[in-house]
């Protein structure tokens, strides 16, 4: 008898960026969108966002020297706690935590230590560093997380260049706030008008409605490439019937003022196969 496939538990949010200063804004917007979705208290959000931004800034400043490399952030929302992992693939700096009384900044780590309930470093020289932070968030309800058969959560994005922003959400409904905020920030970077940025938020809500996929996996993976005056997205897995609503423009109340061109893929299996959409959101010239 064949062995059952390995079931992998996904974080609620996985964000992959390139280690540039402008990526810090995307991390902060992701956290704000997640806080909106789970009704996280404003003071708790401030602590989480400040500490996570500091950890990401350490990656930007120290992990790769004068080069750029991957910056990964994962978030799991549990009952009364939020766990955040910041990961790099760089030189493997593993600084020692210090207290404020030491009179030394320790690459900003005393601030992280003060704001998080627990901080843990793993990694080794030459292998990158992983910083795990746990924040107490009394009263917050746990988000359900999806499980999937052993393939990687962001498989649809593997052919995209490293400069592409990659996002995986589980459950997919988080796209209504998390993806919406990221598209707004990236749209501003692409020199979108206010109207087109508003359209990008509508698109995020429409894509949230495209899940769960026919295989029952309640997740959504998105790869976003920024070019002057447009955003290129690859999104999946989505339900074919819901995808047709986006393609036909009915998700925007009729017409198609937002999407310049679209392509479809269908990597799924079964009676109703999941699809991957390729979308381009364009600012008219």
Average pLDDT over residues 76-96: 84
| 223, pLDDT greater than 90 | yes
> According to the model, what pLDDT value does residue 110 have?
86
| 236, pLDDT greater than 80 | yes
What would the two tokens of residue 260 be?
Answer: 């310049």
The CATH number that applies at residue 20 is 3.30.565.10
* Confidence bin at 263 (pLDDT 50/70/90): very low
Let me know if residue 2 belongs to a domain.
no
Let me know if residue 258 belongs to a domain.
yes
Buried b or exposed e, range 41-61, using 16+ CB within 10 angstroms: eeebbebbbbbbbbbbbbbbe
Nearest-10 Cα torsion for 33, 36, 206, 73:
30
**Percentage of the residues of the chain whose pLDDT score is greater than 90:** 46
* Confidence bin at 276 (pLDDT 50/70/90): confident
| 178, pLDDT greater than 70 | yes
Give residue 55's Cα distance to chain centre. Answer: 16
The CATH number that applies at residue 177 is 3.30.565
Q: Are residues 44 and 115 in the same domain?
A: yes
Q: Are residues 125 and 158 in the same domain?
A: no
Phi, psi of 219 (to 5 degrees): -150, 165
> According to the model, what pLDDT value does residue 101 have?
42
Task: Look at residues 115, 136, 157 and tell me which one is the last residue of a structural domain.
Answer: 136
Let me know if residue 123 belongs to a domain.
yes
Domain range for 17: 7-136
Q: Are residues 178 and 272 in the same domain?
A: yes
- Cross-strand bridge partners of residue 121: 131
Q: How far apart are CA 249 and CA 241, in angstroms?
A: 13
Q: Distances in Å between the alpha carbon of 184 and those of 54, 118, 154, 214?
A: 23, 32, 21, 29
Average pLDDT, the chain: 79
Task: Look at residues 88, 103, 136 and tell me which one is the last residue of a structural domain.
Answer: 136
Q: How far apart are CA 204 and CA 112, in angstroms?
A: 32
> According to the model, what pLDDT value does residue 166 have?
94
> According to the model, what pLDDT value does residue 153 have?
41
């Amino acid at each position: 008898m064949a062995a059952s496939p390995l079931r992998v538990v996904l974080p609620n949010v996985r964000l992959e960026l390139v280690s540039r200063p402008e990526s810090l804004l995307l991390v902060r917007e992701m956290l704000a969108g997640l806080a909106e979705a789970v009704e996280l208290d404003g003071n708790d959000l401030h602590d989480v966002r400040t500490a996570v931004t500091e950890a990401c800034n350490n990656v930007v400043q120290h992990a790769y020297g004068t080069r750029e490399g991957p910056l990964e952030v994962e978030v799991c929302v549990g009952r009364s706690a939020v766990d955040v992992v910041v990961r790099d693939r760089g030189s493997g700096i593993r600084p020692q935590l210090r207290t404020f009384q030491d009179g030394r900044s320790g690459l900003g780590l005393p601030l992280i230590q003060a704001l998080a309930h627990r901080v843990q470093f793993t990694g080794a020289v030459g292998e990158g560093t992983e910083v795990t932070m746990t924040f107490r968030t009394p009263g917050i309800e746990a988000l359900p997380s999806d499980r999937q058969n052993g393939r990687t959560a962001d498989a649809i994005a593997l052919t995209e260049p490293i400069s592409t922003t990659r996002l995986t959400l589980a459950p997919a409904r988080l796209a209504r706030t998390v993806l919406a905020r990221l598209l707004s920030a990236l749209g501003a970077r692409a020199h979108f008008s206010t109207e087109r940025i508003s359209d990008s938020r509508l698109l995020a809500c429409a894509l949230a409605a495209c899940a769960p996929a026919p295989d029952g996996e309640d997740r959504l993976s998105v790869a976003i490439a920024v070019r002057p005056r447009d955003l290129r997205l690859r999104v999946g897995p989505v339900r074919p019937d819901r995808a047709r609503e986006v393609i036909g423009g009915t998700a925007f109340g009729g017409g198609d003022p937002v999407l310049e061109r679209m392509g479809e893929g269908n990597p799924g299996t079964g009676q109703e196969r999941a699809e991957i959409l390729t979308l381009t959101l364009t600012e008219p010239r």
